[in-house]
Amino acid sequence: MDNLKKQILIVDDDLAILDCIRMSLQKDFPCRITACSDSREALELLESNIFNVIISDIGMPNLSGFQLLEYINKLNPNIPVILITGEVDTEKIRSAVQLGAFDILHKPFELSDLHISVKQALQKNSLLLQNEMYRLNLEELVEKRTKELYIAQCQLEKNYLNTIHAMVNAMEANDVYIRGHSERVTVLSIMLGKIIGLDAEDLKLLRIGAILHDLGKIGIYDTLLNKKGSLTSSEYEMVKQHPVIGAKIIRPIGLPTPVYEIILQHHEWFNGKGYPYGLTGNQISPLARIVTIADAYDAMTSKRAYRENLDAKSARQEVINKAGIQFDPDYGKVFFDNYSHIVEPVSDSPAIQNLLFDML
């Protein structure tokens, strides 16, 4: 801001001194000079104008220079205030300094001294305004950059998830027995999660974890996954590694821990008889316990190479029978009691797509 745009306010109840200062400043400073002899009028001017420097007498009726200084500090601490006094009072000088006066001039003073003080005050005001502008611009720049980084991170995460999702779909497309399994498990999990009372953030994590829960099967031979008849002990141990493999695959993206836990723990049993780590009860992530029920129900009602599927009624009964054994007892009961509401969307392809739409 150049001097032509700057404003100086002079406040003094001595009209002779007021005019002297005003005319002197008008001659040597190309600023807009405003003068008033009443401190109450000065308050009104401060409400409707932006001043860069204020010169005020200390001893005035109605409102002293000290009181005016206190008000200015609250209104805008970036305005330097030069105080004028006719008294040589050490206590008053100390008070002025404590209140943050830029300078104190004792009457009678040389106009040249006033000019030096005003020039320095204008320079200080310019620096303060520049610093404030820089701070605001920096905050805006940081906020803008933070948003850009967040958008970039979201896009990277979305692209990575879309790639993995495509891999899951490709894996399922080659197997008539599990085609659409991950999407059905996701819908069942979401419906169960909503009834349990999960918030929007947990539902989002549940969506991602459920759609990716079987990702690790990419690392298992198709001949094992589709083998007719029972697996050998060594073959079964290989299949049991798919949660660990899936967790390793998504590790590089840095997804939230609950997603990682869903993939790693969806085959853990509530009584500790599951895999890969034999976790029990509350050691298992709440979201993983939801996916465990959804995954098992869809597996039971889907035909496999090595067995026939159960009918819906029998599968529902199996969930409640194994509540507290394989499944969280509370979640198992919620599934059993709200069965129709939870399972109904799975039979509706558009409903599946609507529930999955916002996930990736």
pLDDT of 53 over the 90 cut: yes
Residue 189 three-state SS: helix
- The two structure tokens encoding residue 71: 């008000």
Helix, strand and coil in the chain, % to nearest 5:
65, 10, 30
pLDDT of 151 over the 80 cut: yes
Q: How confident is the model at residue 3 (pLDDT cuts 50, 70, 90)?
A: very low
pLDDT of 356 over the 60 cut: no
- Rounded to the nearest integer, the mean pLDDT of the chain is 84
- The two structure tokens encoding residue 216: 């690790």
Condensed to tens digits (0 to 9), the pLDDT of residues 254-306 reads 788 999 999 999 999 999 999 999 999 999 999 999 999 999 999 898 876 55
Domains and CATH numbers, the chain: 3-139 (3.40.50.2300), 174-357 (1.10.3210.10)
Cα–Cα dist 356/207, whole Å: 7
For residue 205, give every residue at least 6 positions away whose Cβ sits within 8 Å of its Cβ, in sequence order, or none.
Answer: 256, 258, 259, 262, 287
Q: Which among 241, 243, 218, 246 has a CA at the least distance from the CA of 231?
A: 241
In this prediction the pTM is 0.56
Higher pLDDT, 52 or 107: 52
pLDDT of 2 over the 50 cut: no
Where b means 16+ CB within 10 Å and e means fewer, 127-149 reads ebeeeeeeeeeeeeeeeeeeeee
Provide the β-strand partners of residue 57: 84
Cα–Cα dist 197/162, whole Å: 27
Question: What is the predicted pLDDT for the residue at 359?
Answer: 45
